[in-house]
Structure 1
Amino acid sequence: MTLTVEDVHSGYGGGTVLHGVGLAIPTGTALAVLGRNGAGKTTLVHTICGLIKPRAGRIALDGLELAGRPAHRVARAGIALVPQGRRVFASLTVAEHLALSRRRGEWTVPRVLQLLPRLQERLRNRGNQLSGGEAQMLAIARALLTQPKVLLLDEPCEGLAVDLADRVRAVVAELARGGLTVLLVEQQPEHALAVADRVALLADGMVASTHTAAQLRADPSLTDHVLSVASH
């Protein structure tokens, strides 16, 4: 299933944040969208998953038009979001989160627990009793249980300690290698390059350029003018 975003304009209230964004993510590949705060990254994923209605443009999954559909219809079509900040329910246990998210398909509760074994130890813990890393793993598990064709991840390593961020990155990379189509939003190039096949640089609500991950690894300065970060 190819996710296609064509000439999308979107924003909040009277303001426009995205100005003609275009992306294509072929089945089984991982695309990272890199950009500074305010570049429009979260607006992009919220527009794709139906939380924001685009003002113009086309969003389609293997030819099925999604632009303007409500979020629950987009989810049923196969788009799942791991939101920025995790957003797990404080009063629900891990087991309850998984039960509520589960739909019939290849992703089962035992399978996500095998991928994310820490959750097995926390099944009886409520959302407000989890660490940041555990909550992020729960957010990923919850998304996988909806049987997505495309997984959107909005800065999944934000606010996590280095070891936990490494674990989350490893999980996302494993999912991408396993053939799941992934759109990863990031600010940190090293996080994106650990996962992505291709990287789109977003600036001021527009795609400034697109590169293979190999190109950016070979020449990190390609990101400097967009991200204003020092090369490492």
Structure 2
Amino acid sequence: MTLTVSGLHAGYGGGTVLHGVDLQVEEGTALAVLGRNGAGKTTLVHTIAGLLRARQGTVVLDDTNLTGRPAHKVARAGVGLVPQGRRVFASLTVAEHLQLSRRSGEWTVPKVLELLPRLGERLRNKGNQLSGGEAQMLAIARALLTQPRLLLLDEPCEGLAVELAARVRAVVAELSRGGLTVLLVEQQPEHALAVADHVALLSDGRVVATHTADELRAAPHLTDQVLSVTTHA
């Protein structure tokens, strides 16, 4: 499924955070949106997912216009969300999380546990008994069980130890190679480049450039302006 975002404006209260964002994620590819804190990355994800209403512009998944739809209808249209900070329920077990998220389709609980075997060892553990990496795996599993055609990930490696972040990157890359359309937002180039086919650079709520991952690996200085706090001082 191809995601097309056109002229997107969004914000909170009287303030505007996104200023005419244009993006396209082709079916079966991964796009990383790279920007520093405050660039508008989470606002972008929330607007696509229907958690925040766009003030202007459109969000289209293939031929389905998602603009203005509430979050539950966006989810039913095939958009899965892995939110920043995991957001797992402290009092529910891993097994309960999986059962509550499950919808009929390609992704079953056994298939998710095959992809994320550590969760199979923690089925009886509650959300507040999981490590940060385990909680992130659970957030990914929960999203997959909703049968997404597009997977949104908001800084999935944030706060994880190096080896756990590498495991999360490997899982996301495997999902993309398997044909799932992926959009993730990141502020660390190494996380974005390990997963994405293309990278959009976001600065002050605007996409200032889009490059292939290979181009950024060859010329890492291209990210300096959007990731440098001093350039915005």
Percent identical across equivalent pairs? 80
Q: Does 1:70 align with 2:75?
A: no
Alignment of 1:40-189 (within 5 A): 40-189=40-189
Aligned residue in 1 for 2:199:
199
2-structure distance, mates of 1:165, 1:190: 10
Q: How many residues were matched structurally?
A: 229
| 4+ residue runs over 4 A deviation | none
Aligned residue in 1 for 2:36:
36
1-structure distance, mates of 2:223, 2:148: 30
Q: Which stretch of the first structure deviates more once superposed, 137-146 or 160-169?
A: 160-169
2-structure distance, mates of 1:112, 1:25: 24
2-structure distance, mates of 1:135, 1:201: 28
Aligned residue in 1 for 2:224:
224
2-structure distance, mates of 1:137, 1:58: 31
Taking structure 2 as the reference length, what is the TM-score of the superposition? 0.97
2-structure distance, mates of 1:10, 1:63: 22
Paired letter, 1:167: R
- 1:195-231 CA deviation, whole Å, 9 max, x = no partner? 00000000000001000000000000010111128xx
Q: Which stretch of the first structure deviates more once superposed, 137-146 or 159-168?
A: 159-168
Paired letter, 1:11: G
Q: 1:67: how far off?
A: 0.8
RMSD: 0.7
2-structure distance, mates of 1:37, 1:228: 10
Paired letter, 2:68: G
2-structure distance, mates of 1:66, 1:224: 33
Aligned residue in 1 for 2:26:
26
2-structure distance, mates of 1:68, 1:20: 16
SS at match of 1:85: coil
- 1:136-156 CA deviation, whole Å, 9 max, x = no partner? 000000000000000000000
SS at match of 2:80: strand
Alignment of 1:7-22 (within 5 A): 7-22=7-22
Paired letter, 1:61: L
